[in-house]
Chains A and B, each alone.
Chain A
Amino acid sequence: MTKVLMKGNEAIAEAAIKAGCRAYFCYPITPQSEVAEYMAKRMPEVDGVFLQGESEVGVGNMLFGAAATGRRVFSTSSSPGISLMQESISYMAGAQLPVVLVNIMRGGPGLGGILPAQSDYFQSVKGGGHGDYRLLVLAPSTIQEAVDLMMLSFHLADKYRNPVMMIGDGMIGQMMEPVEFPDKYEEPPLPDKPWALTGAAGRKAQVVKSLFLDPIMLEKNSWLLHEKYEQMKLNETRFELYKVNPKNEILIISYGTMARICQTAIDELEEHGISVGLFRPVSLFPFPEQQLLKAATQKGVKAVLTVEMSTAQMHEDVQRIVMGKTPTEFFGRTGGVVPSPQEVIDQVMGLLDKYPGKKKAQHSASKSKKAQGK
C-alpha cells in the first residue's frame, strides 16, 4: 500500500483491474480516452479482454453479451457516448445484468464541449434510457475516492445485479493526485450467479432477456426491479458532511469536484467568522434524502445553496427534498465553466444579505474587500 501519483482516468482503470474486472470495451471520446489507452496496455498483462468497438452503441451491447457470462465487465465514456449507450443500459437493467460504467462528463447538450460539467445528472439519476429502471450512481470528488468507489461499483453491481454508473466531471479524469490501492480488494461475500450463461450442460437451457410479452409478467419484473431500488435506498445511501455544525448559517449542497471548490470557499468564509456547512451526496441514486433534510433544517440555517456545474439539475431534487422548510437557492456555471471559490463566496454573501435572520451579521468577505485585503 504505497501512494502513487496518477491521473484520474488511469487510476479508474487500475481500480477496475484491482476489483477483478478482466473485460473492458470502449470507444474513444474526450476527456476519458486515457482509460482506454491504459487498458489497451494493461489488460493483456492480466490475461484480460480489451476491445475497441465500432461505436458506443456497439460497446454497450458488447457489455450486454459479456455481462451474461457472469464475469465483471466495464466501460467508460463521456456524455455524448453515454447517450449512445442508453439503449443497452436499459436492456441490461431489464435483464438484471451487473455492469459498471463510468461517465467522465463534459458540457452538453449535443456535441457541446470537452470541458468539465455536471450536466448529465438527470441522464444518470433519472434514467437516460426507456422503462422503469434506475442505475446506482456514485460521484467521487477526489481521485482516491474514484478508486475506492470504482472497486465498490463492481461489488454493488454484482450484489444487486444492476448497472452501476460512476460519474465524474472532466477534472476527475484529467487531474493527477496521489492514490493508494489495496494489495487485494477485500469485499463481503456475494451470491452465486446461477443466471449466467455457461451452456446447458447438466441443467436446463436458460435465457438472459428483458422481453416479457405477457403484461402481468412484465409488471412483475418491473416491481421486482423496484424492490431492488428500495433495498439500495436502505443500504447504499452515501454522503459526506464538511463543517456541518449548529453554527451554520448557510448549507451548501454540492457533489464531485464542485464540492471541493465549495470546501475552499467554506474555509475562507470561516476565517471571516461565517459558518457554512457542506452536504456532499456521494450516491446520487439512492440520494441521501433524509440526511439532507436533517442538515437543511438545522436551527440557524437561513438558506440552502445548491452549487453544481449545470443549470439546476440536482437542485430540483434538493427542492423536492427540503420541501420549502428552508429557503432553497441555486448557483451554477455550465458548458465547461468551473466556478471559482470566490464566486461561491459571493453567492453566500448575497444570501446572507437576502436572509439576514435575527441579528444583522457584519460580514467582510465580499469580493471588493477581499481583493483589497490581498
Chain B
Amino acid sequence: MADNSKTIFARPDSMTENITHYCPGCTHGIIHRLVAEALDDLGVREKTVGVAPVGCSVLAYNYFNCDFLEAPHGRAPALATGFKRLRPDMIVFTYQGDGDLASIGGNEILHTANRGEKVTTIFVNNAIYGMTGGQMAPTTLPGQITTTSPAGRDTVSTGYPLRISELLSTLATPSYIERVSVHTPMNIVKAKKAIRRAFEYQLEGRCFSLVEVLSTCPTNWGITPGESTKWLDENMVPFFPLGVFKEPENMA
C-alpha cells in the first residue's frame, strides 16, 4: 500500500515555514502561495529575486523562500529594473499593493512597463490602504467608506478609481497584462494560471508582465471574511472586470 502513496499537496519549496502576519480573511496568503507555486512549477526559485513593497506585504520576504529586496514605497519596479538590467539571467518580480503601485509608485510602474522591462509584477488590489489603517486608495470605489473618505469616496473631488490594467494596456510596448481575482476557488485556479503565464513570459525574455489580483481586506472594509468575498464579487468585479487585457503576440 505504501508503494502507491504519493504527495498530492504540500508547502511549495518557494515558501518558508513562517506563519504570515496577515489578518483573517485577507487573501495575501493565497496570492503568496500562487506565486510560490509558479516559481516551483518553473523551477526558478534558486535564480529568483523578489522585490517587496511598503504596505501590508512589506514583510513578504519572510514568507518567500527566495532572495529579496525591500524597496521604498512605490519604487519596487525601479529596483527590479536596476537588478534585472544587470542580471538578465535571473527572474525578478515585484509584489505590490494598490497604494504602493497605483499612487506613490505610479510613475515607476508606468515607465517600467513602457520600457518593457523583462520583470513580473504581482499587483494586489484591495481598494484600500491596509497597513496604515484603511485610508482611501486610488482604487477605492465611488462611494466606498474609508477613514479618509468617511462620507464615501466623492468622485467630484477625488476622481474615479484608477484601472491600472486598462491604463497599462494602452501602451504600445508589448506586455502581458491580466486581471484575476481570488475570491472563489474557480478564480484562484484562473489566477494561478495567469501568474504562471506571467513568469513564463519573463523566462522566455518576451516582455513585461503584470497580473492584477483583486483581493479582500475584511479588517479595513469593516465586514466579515465571508461578506468580503461577496462584496468583492458584487462591487469590485463590475468596476474592475476580469480578463486578459494585453498579450505580446497581439502586438505588431
From residue A310, how far is it (CB to closest CB) to chain B in Å? 29
- Residues of A in contact (CB 8 Å), total 39
Which of A58, A68, A207 contacts B78 (CB under 8 A)? A58
Q: Which residues of A contact B81 (CB under 8 A)?
A: 51, 53, 58, 62, 65
Q: Find out whether the CB atom of A61 lies under 8 angstroms from the CB atom of B111.
A: no
Which of A25, A51, A54, A68 contacts B69 (CB under 8 A)? A68
For A26-69 the 0/1 string (1 means CB < 8 A from B) is 00000000000000000000000101011101111111111111
Q: Find out whether the CB atom of B45 lies under 8 angstroms from the CB atom of A200.
A: yes
- Roughly how many angstroms separate A25 CA and B81 CA in the complex, as a whole number? 11
Contacts A54-B108, A58-B108, A91-B72; A66 near B67 (Cβ below 8 A)? no
* Residue A124 at the chain B interface, CB threshold 8 Å: no
Q: Find out whether the CB atom of A207 lies under 8 angstroms from the CB atom of B69.
A: yes
Q: Find out whether the CB atom of A71 lies under 8 angstroms from the CB atom of B67.
A: no
Closest B residue, CB atoms, query A51: B85
Q: Which residues of B contact A201 (CB under 8 A)?
A: 46-47
Q: Which residues of B contact A62 (CB under 8 A)?
A: 78-79, 81-82, 85
Closest B residue, CB atoms, query A201: B46
**Residue from A49, A73, A205 with most neighbouring chain B CB atoms (10 Å):** A205
From residue B10, how far is it (CB to closest CB) to chain A in Å? 18
- Roughly how many angstroms separate A271 CA and B69 CA in the complex, as a whole number? 60
Q: Interface-forming stretch among B58-66, B179-187, B237-245?
A: B58-66
- Roughly how many angstroms separate A61 CA and B105 CA in the complex, as a whole number? 11
- Roughly how many angstroms separate A139 CA and B108 CA in the complex, as a whole number? 32
18 new A-B contacts, CB < 8 A, other than A205-B68, A206-B68, are: A23-B86, A25-B82, A49-B86, A51-B85, A53-B78, A55-B107, A58-B81, A61-B78, A64-B79, A65-B69, A67-B82, A68-B49, A68-B69, A68-B82, A88-B75, A95-B70, A209-B69, A210-B70
A-B contact pairs, 26 of them (CB 8 A): A53-B81, A57-B75, A58-B78, A59-B78, A61-B108, A62-B82, A62-B85, A64-B72, A64-B79, A65-B69, A65-B82, A66-B82, A68-B49, A68-B69, A68-B79, A69-B83, A88-B75, A95-B70, A197-B49, A197-B68, A199-B67, A200-B67, A201-B46, A201-B47, A207-B61, A207-B69
